[in-house]
Amino acid sequence: MSELSIFARAMLQERKDILISILTGFIAGIAGVTLFSMSGYLISKTVFLPPLYTLILLAASVKLLGLVRAASRYGERLYSHRATFSLLSRLRTTFFSRLLPLSPQWLNQQRSGDLLAKIVGDVESLQFYFLRVAYPPIIVISIFLTTVVVTSFISIWIALVFVAGMIIIAFGVPAIVRRSQLKQTGAVQQLRAQLATDSTEMMYGFIDLKIYGRLAEHEQRTAKLASELTDAQQQDAIRLLRGQSLHSFMTFFMSWAVLVVGALLILQGSMDGLFLAMLIMTAMTVFDESAAMATLPAYKKDSEYAAKRLNTVLAEAELPAPASRMLEPQQPVGIDMEKVSFRYDGDWRWTLQDISLHIPAGSKTAIVGASGSGKTSLLELILKLHPHVQGELRLNDISIQELDQESIWKQARVILQHNHFFSGTLRDNLLLEQDAVSDTRLLELLAQVDLSHKKLDDLVLEKGENLSDGEKQRLAFIRILLRSGSLWLLDEPTSSLDYVTEQRVLQLLFQHAKADTLIMVSHRLTGLERMDQIIVMDQGRIVEVGTYDELMRQQGYFYKLKKLEMDRVV
């Protein structure tokens, strides 16, 4: 059961609560059995008019056992649930922390709904493993064994009936329940994941689906999945109920068996009739204590299936090789590439091929080229977002393979083509990294990027739905101004801005990045005169490198692009 190894480790960490809950659970169970058997004995004894002190003693013991049972049951509930919730939180953090270092490329390949179903639903299914699978057999078997040993002093035959009952109830009933659910394994989890995937896709593509008239079809499919999930959950509930009913039936059957065998023994004179009521009460209580065994197979299968789904995620995903070297903080970063080639997983063609370049520390570089020529991919390689790269890529003369990814990210001030905005206030969205920035400073920055009409308490909707693309770009720009780091990687940071605002923002950018290394991917070819070098790309290759003047003099690819742009403007 290696699938459950994450769970076993988490259980080991919660061993104190687990041991206390087992101990209190055992005390509560035994106190319950003793309480009811003693009540049976008290009733029988009363018939023979015993001395008053005997009755007082028995009644006091029954009361005391009641108190012990209640207190230990409370302790059991408290510690077992505390252990369960701590396990759940450990599982969540373990799974999440294993996901975090995975390459974004791998994460992007996952369907978000399915991944969410795994992170939330499957992890939650695992929480029951302790409470409903690992824990009940320990309690049930220890209570049974204690009861059988004590009963054997009264009658070995009744003790044998208990053993038979234990085998039927603790093993037979779960085996029958297990057989009935073999075919159904994982149906709920699979449907839940499908529903989550379909629903997220519908939410993300709502407007397009509506425009292209496919919304109704999508809604129907989602509704069908939802009803199939309800059916599967209902089937699961029915199976659980069937197991519980079978268990109740067997509990009463075994109590009748105790009554019949006990009556025969009394008739034969081999057992005192005083004990009969006591033994029947014992049977009813002890078999009732084992109710959790009937639902155990269902929870076991669910947990194992959930663990398997989670493990597939972790097994498929390749963790980046550990790297120990760090980029020096606040030192401008020089970048060298020698014959670097790269292709996305599963892609037959090279996205980048034979890239050799030198970007001196503190220089300003523009990357231009046709759409799809590999400009963004090149930036992503510098951020070490893709682990498998051919050739040599060095930052400050350290091979990227040896560099710790986090240390690169700490140094980088990045604007991607799509910047994410969270639901919250504008202030929350600006202060992603640090909260020690005054409102006055934030308002000043907003004014510098022509957003003085915005207020810090303005509400931002999920994914920045109520912001224009240009506003998003300027807010992303403020975000990187608030960061520290000496490597600026900007992927078309001003593509949605008008010319005047763009120039204003770029001026601000050059002021802040004066001594730093700056690489900017740009579609527009205006304002590139101030760059130290321009890298021109086409179909994954570098076709030209030089300053603006050099490239214009050369009259090559860049010159043609520039001419096309100018013709378009005229």
Position 374 contacts ligand ATP (CB under 6 A): yes
Burial of 435 from C-beta contacts in 10 A (0-12 / 13-18 / 19+): exposed
List residues bridging with 521 in a β-sheet: 367, 491
Work out whether 372 is an interface residue with ligand ATP (CB under 6 A). Answer: yes
Q: Which of 376, 401, 496, 526 binds ligand ATP (CB under 6 A)?
A: 376
User: In the structure, how many helices (H) and strands (E) does the chain have?
Assistant: 22, 12
CB of 535 to ligand ATP, least distance (A): 12
Q: How far is the CB of 109 from ligand ATP (least distance, A)?
A: 8
CB of 378: closest distance to ligand ATP in angstroms?
A: 7
- In the bound complex, what is the minimum distance in angstroms from residue 141's beta carbon to ligand ATP? 53
Q: Running DSSP on this structure, what letter comes out for residue 366?
A: E
Give the binding range for ligand ATP (CB under 6 A) out of 369-377, 399-407, 504-512, 544-552.
Answer: 369-377
- Amino acid at the residue 339: K
- Take residue 313 and report the two structure tokens written for it: 């995620």
CB of 254 or CB of 352, closer to ligand ATP: 352
CB of 281 within 8 A of CB of 245?
A: no
- What amino acid occupies position 121? G
Q: How far is the CB of 188 from ligand ATP (least distance, A)?
A: 32
Distances (CA, A) of 436 to 161, 427, 442, 457: 72, 12, 11, 17
| Nearest residue (CB) to ligand ATP, 381 versus 395 | 381
Our CB check for ligand ATP shows the closer of 168 and 521 to be 521
Least distance to ligand ATP, CB of residue 209, Å: 23
Nearer to ligand ATP, 38 or 551 (CB): 551
Q: Of 151, 377, 473, 533, which one interacts with ligand ATP (CB under 6 A)?
A: 377
Q: Does 448 bind ligand ATP (CB under 6 A)?
A: no
Q: Binder to ligand ATP among 373, 411, 448, 522 (CB under 6 A)?
A: 373
Nearest distance from residue 495's CB to ligand ATP, in Å? 9
* CA–CA dist 505, 509 (Å, integer): 6
- Reported as half-sphere exposure (CB side, CA atoms, 13 A), residue 184 has a value of 23
Per CB under 6 A, 375 contacts ligand ATP:
yes
Residues 75-114 that bind ligand ATP (CB under 6 A): 105, 108
Closest approach of Cβ 447 to ligand ATP, in Å? 30
Which is nearer to ligand ATP, 250 or 536 (by Cβ)? 536
Our CB check for ligand ATP shows the closer of 86 and 539 to be 539
Q: Rule CB under 6 A: which of 526-545 touch ligand ATP?
A: none
Q: Cβ of residue 416: shortest distance to ligand ATP, in angstroms?
A: 10
Q: C-beta of 332: minimal distance to ligand ATP in Å?
A: 24
- DSSP calls for 105-140: HHHHHS-HHHHHHIIIIIHHHHHHIIIIIIHHHHHH
CB of residue 410 to ligand ATP, shortest distance in Å:
24
Please check whether residue 518 is in contact with residue 413, taking contact to mean a CB–CB distance below 8 angstroms: no
Q: DSSP assignment, residue 4?
A: G
Give φ, ψ of 155 to 5 degrees.
-155, 125
Interface pick for ligand ATP out of 324, 371, 438, 440 (rule CB under 6 A): 371
* Size, binding site for ligand ATP by CB under 6 A: 13
Starting at the edge strand found earlier in the chain, the sheet holding 541-546 runs 412-415, 487-491, 517-521, 364-369, 533-538, 541-546
Q: Are 34 and 150 in contact (CB under 8 A)?
A: no
C-beta of residue 523 within 8 angstroms of C-beta of residue 492: yes
Segment interacting with ligand ATP (CB under 6 A) among 72-80, 156-164, 373-381, 552-560: 373-381
Q: Which is nearer to ligand ATP, 347 or 549 (CB)?
A: 347
Q: What are the structure tokens assigned to 177, written together? A: 């329940």
Nearer to ligand ATP, 38 or 518 (CB): 518
- Using left for φ > 0, alpha for ψ between -120 and 50, and beta otherwise, residue 468 falls in beta
* Beta strand pairing call for 459-460 and 424-425: antiparallel
The minimum distance between CB 372 and ligand ATP, in angstroms, equals 4
Measured CA to CA in angstroms, residue 230 lies from 59, 128, 192, 293, 514 at distances of 50, 20, 10, 25, 61
Write out the two tokens for 340: 């670097």
Q: Which is nearer to ligand ATP, 351 or 533 (CB)?
A: 351
Q: Which CB, 344 or 409, lies closer to ligand ATP?
A: 344
Q: Which is nearer to ligand ATP, 107 or 223 (CB)?
A: 107
* Smallest distance, ligand ATP to C-beta of residue 369, A: 6
Angle at 244 between CA 238 and CA 246, to 5 degrees: 100
Separation of alpha carbons 56 and 64, rounded Å: 12
Q: Which is nearer to ligand ATP, 163 or 416 (CB)?
A: 416
42, 62 contact by CB (below 8 A):
yes
- Provide the β-strand partners of residue 368: 536
CB of 438 to ligand ATP, least distance (A): 36
**What is the nearest approach in angstroms of ligand ATP to the Cβ of residue 349?**
8
Question: Are 130 and 223 within 8 A, CB to CB?
Answer: no
Of 149-157, 178-186, 365-373, 528-536, which part binds ligand ATP (CB under 6 A)? 365-373
Q: Is 413 in the site for ligand ATP (CB under 6 A)?
A: no
Cβ distance to ligand ATP smaller for residue 449 or 536:
536
Helix (H) or strand (E) holding 337: strand 335-342
* Residue list 323-362, contact with ligand ATP (CB under 6 A): 344, 347, 351
Closer residue to ligand ATP in complex, CB, 192/375: 375
Phi (first) and psi of residue 85, to 5 degrees:
-70, -35
Q: Which is nearer to ligand ATP, 112 or 199 (CB)?
A: 112
Interface stretch with ligand ATP, choices 146-154, 290-298, 366-374, 440-448 (CB under 6 A): 366-374
Contact 359, 335 (CB under 8 A): yes
In the chain, how long is the greatest CA-to-CA distance?
121
For ligand ATP, the binding residues (CB under 6 A) are: 105, 108, 344, 347, 351, 369, 371-377
